[in-house]
């Protein structure tokens, strides 16, 4: 197996330095963690190692010899595999077809051998779009193993996994390490990095801030290196007690998705000032439930806002004060081809706040609004006129959350609002959510981050296969929540809905 090294890597995008003299060594038979705030350069560095991006300066070495990748195909041929944060699968293809896409001479024996290692031998003819998130991730890893990767780059691999699925991923990463392969593990989760990795490198503003032996570092060490000596921002105290009056009431809500019924007669209520948590693994009806609540998807059942029937349709519910942070910021939350300023007022362009007399847009007012959002949420960007696509994923997420909270809604439905966001921004977003709820906002928080649910919410339920469990105490063991998220039958018999 090979030792890989990146030497003095630099990359700029216009006036913005993404990487500035980064050097990193990845040894065989080791798991190397890579941490950093959003925009620190992690993804750019991995894209350079994978041949998808060319550096402005510096080079890559394999066993002490320089290598140059003109494309990802060159990197794959050299034994590098990348599992993206957003999976690169063709949903209508089978697992086998996805693995063999672009392969000149498919090898069934090699495919089956790799699939056996990942427990996928029985899924090769399954359609990718019908698989769970955890299985889809294993298909991405299968693609890399089939191509005989000895250096596997994992970008935020546990973001959408249940605890048992994350444990299985950790076990497989350790198996790869034992075989002599190398793994680079990109994560925002400090304890996760220390638990799994042999060494951890922290990037800050495009430079190496620190490299630690994982056995000698603490979460505080990593956090301090990530934020440059600034204390990691606290999410705050426990949420303020909600009021007694129900702000949002949902009765037997049911709706369908592309594959049939996805939300199965769920009922709940959220009080004014309450944070109501719904935990679950992606693909169990969360998106359909959220879209039905905000009027984007037709649904049976009834929804009330402040004891009045909620109006039908998205625009009517927006006007009634029901806002939405969707799970997929790139497809549903932001318009990537528009500027930061245009995205900051998206959906509210007709508001008098952004108009001059005569109806023309007030550019100065919009610029001031963007500056306020950027300061409050630490949104890092080249400028308000920059396309939002040029922002890192975390800064895109902060812009989306900032935009919706700035509109002071009565009810906010938020799906994974801190997904892909660094520790300081996570704390800032959570603090803003709590502050809004202290002023009366009712928050429906749908998240696959158990720590987020347990630290923010007043009450907790779990969604699986379109059903909601009964309300759970916040001190319920995480293993119980994990089993509910995984659809464990006996656990659902004990904690499932009472009606």
How many Cβ atoms from other residues are within 10 Å of residue 421's Cβ? Answer: 26
Domain span at residue 135?
4-227
Tens digit of each residue's pLDDT (9 = 90 or more) over 218-243: 888 887 887 665 444 444 455 666 77
pLDDT on residue 69: 95
pLDDT at 6 exceeding the cut of 90 = yes
Domain check: are 251 and 282 in the same one?
Answer: yes
Residue 497 or residue 233, greater confidence: 497
User: What percentage of the chain exceeds 70 in pLDDT?
Assistant: 95
Question: For the ranges 150-154, 283-287, 306-310, which has the lowest average pLDDT?
Answer: 283-287
State residue 235's pLDDT score. Answer: 44
Same domain, 45 and 127: yes
Model confidence at 185: pLDDT above 90 = yes
* CATH label of the domain that carries residue 440: 3.40.50.300
Express each pLDDT in 60-76 by its tens digit.
Answer: 999 999 999 999 999 99
> Is 217's pLDDT higher than 90?
yes
Q: Select, from the ranges 168-182, 223-237, 372-386, 463-477, the one with the highest average predicted confidence (pLDDT).
A: 168-182
Give the mean model confidence (pLDDT) for residues 294-299. 93
The residue among 159 and 328 whose pLDDT is bigger is: 328
Are 136 and 220 within one domain? yes
Residue 245: predicted pLDDT = 83
226 vs 309, residue with greater confidence:
309
Same domain for 66 and 199, yes or no, is: yes
Question: Is the per-residue pLDDT at 160 higher than 70?
Answer: no
Last residue of a domain, one of 198, 227, 256: 227
**Sheet of 57-62: strands edge to edge?**
16-26, 4-13, 57-62, 65-67
Same domain assignment for residues 200 and 87: yes
CA-based end-to-end distance of the chain: 57
pLDDT at 83 over 80: yes
Do 328 and 301 contact (CB within 8 A), yes or no? Answer: no
pLDDT for res 376 = 85
DSSP string, 261-321: EEEEEEEEEEETT-EEEEE--TTSSHHHHHHHHHTSS--EEEEEETTEEPPSSHHHHHHTT
Would you place residue 349 in the very low, low, confident or very high pLDDT band (cuts 50, 70, 90)? Answer: confident
pLDDT above 70 (res 28) = yes
**What's the DSSP call for residue 214?**
G
The two tokens of residue 450 are 């158990």
Q: Are residues 479 and 388 in the same domain?
A: no
**Residue 248 near residue 274 (C-beta atoms within 8 A):** no
Long-range CB contact pairs, 377-380, < 8 A, 24+: 377/401, 377/402, 377/425, 377/428, 377/429, 377/432, 378/424, 378/425, 378/428, 379/340, 380/38, 380/39
Mean pLDDT, the chain, integer: 88
Q: At residue 310, does pLDDT exceed 80?
A: yes
Residue 435, pLDDT > 60, answer yes
pLDDT of residue 236: 47
Say yes or no: 222 and 344 in one domain. no
Residue-level pLDDT at 445: 97
Residues 429 and 466 in one domain: yes
List the single range of 190-194, 243-247, 403-407 with lowest mean pLDDT: 243-247
Prediction pTM value: 0.64
- What angle in degrees, to the nearest 10, is found between the helix axes of 163-178 and 108-118? 120
393 and 186 in contact (C-beta within 8 Å)? Answer: no
Residues 379 and 415 in one domain: no
Residue 71 sits in the same domain as residue 151: yes
Give the end of a domain, one of 408, 432, 461: 408
Decide if pLDDT at 258 tops 70: no
What is the count of structural domains for the chain? Answer: 3
Last residue of a domain, one of 227, 261, 294: 227
Q: Tell me: pLDDT of 2 over 70.
A: yes
Beta bridge partners of 323: 412
Bridge-based pairing of strands 411-415 and 182-186 is unpaired
> Does residue 337 sit in the same domain as residue 200?
no
Specify whether 36 is located in the same domain as 144: yes
Q: Tell me the mean pLDDT in the region 271-286.
A: 88
């Amino acid at each position: 197996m090979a030792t890989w090294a990146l030497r003095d890597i630099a990359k700029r995008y216009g006036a913005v330095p993404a990487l500035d003299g980064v050097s990193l060594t990845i040894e065989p038979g080791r798991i190397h963690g890579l941490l950093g705030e959003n925009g620190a350069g992690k993804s750019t560095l991995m894209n350079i190692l994978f041949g998808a991006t060319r550096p402005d300066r510096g080079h890559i070495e394999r066993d002490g010899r320089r290598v140059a990748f003109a494309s990802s195909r060159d990197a794959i041929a050299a034994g590098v595999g990348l599992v993206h944060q957003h999976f690169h699968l063709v949903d209508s293809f089978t697992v086998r077809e996805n693995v063999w896409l672009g392969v000149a001479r498919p090898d069934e024996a090699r495919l089956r051998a790799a699939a056996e290692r990942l427990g996928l031998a029985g899924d090769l003819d399954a359609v990718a779009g019908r698989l769970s998130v955890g299985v889809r991730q294993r298909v991405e890893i299968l693609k890399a193993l089939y191509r005989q990767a000895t250096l596997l780059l994992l970008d935020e691999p546990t973001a959408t996994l249940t605890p048992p699925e994350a444990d299985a991923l950790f076990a497989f990463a350790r198996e790869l390490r034992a075989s002599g392969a190398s793994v680079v593990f990109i994560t925002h989760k400090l304890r996760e990095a220390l638990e799994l990795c042999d060494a951890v490198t922290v990037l800050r503003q495009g430079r190496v801030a620190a490299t630690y032996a994982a056995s000698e570092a603490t979460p505080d060490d990593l956090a301090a290196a990530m934020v440059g000596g600034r204390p990691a921002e606290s999410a705050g105290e426990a949420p303020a007690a909600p009021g007694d009056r129900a702000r949002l009431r949902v009765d037997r809500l049911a709706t369908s998705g592309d594959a049939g019924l996805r939300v199965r007669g769920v009922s709940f209520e959220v009080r004014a000032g309450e944070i109501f948590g719904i935990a679950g693994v992606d693909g169990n009806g969360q998106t359909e439930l959220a879209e039905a609540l905000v009027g984007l998807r037709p649904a049976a059942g009834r929804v009330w806002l402040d004891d009045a029937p909620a109006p039908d349709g998205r625009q009517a519910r927006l006007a009634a004060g029901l806002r939405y942070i969707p799970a997929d910021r790139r497809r549903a939350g932001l318009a990537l081809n528009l500027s930061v300023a245009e995205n900051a007022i998206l959906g509210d362009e007709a508001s008098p706040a952004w108009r001059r007399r005569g109806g023309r847009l007030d550019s100065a007012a919009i610029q001031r609004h963007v500056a306020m959002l950027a300061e409050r949420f630490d949104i890092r960007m080249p400028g308000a006129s920059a396309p939002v696509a040029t922002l890192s994923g975390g800064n895109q997420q902060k812009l989306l959350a900032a935009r919706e909270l700035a509109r002071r809604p009565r009810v906010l439905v938020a799906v994974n609002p801190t997904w892909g966001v660094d520790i300081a921004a996570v704390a800032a977003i959570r603090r803003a959510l709590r502050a809004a709820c202290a002023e009366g906002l009712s928050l429906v928080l749908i998240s696959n981050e158990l720590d987020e649910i347990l630290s923010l919410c007043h009450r907790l339920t779990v969604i699986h296969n379109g059903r909601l469990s009964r309300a759970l105490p916040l001190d319920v063991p995480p293993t119980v929540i994990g089993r509910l998220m995984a659809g464990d039958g006996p656990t659902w018999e004990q904690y499932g809905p009472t009606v």
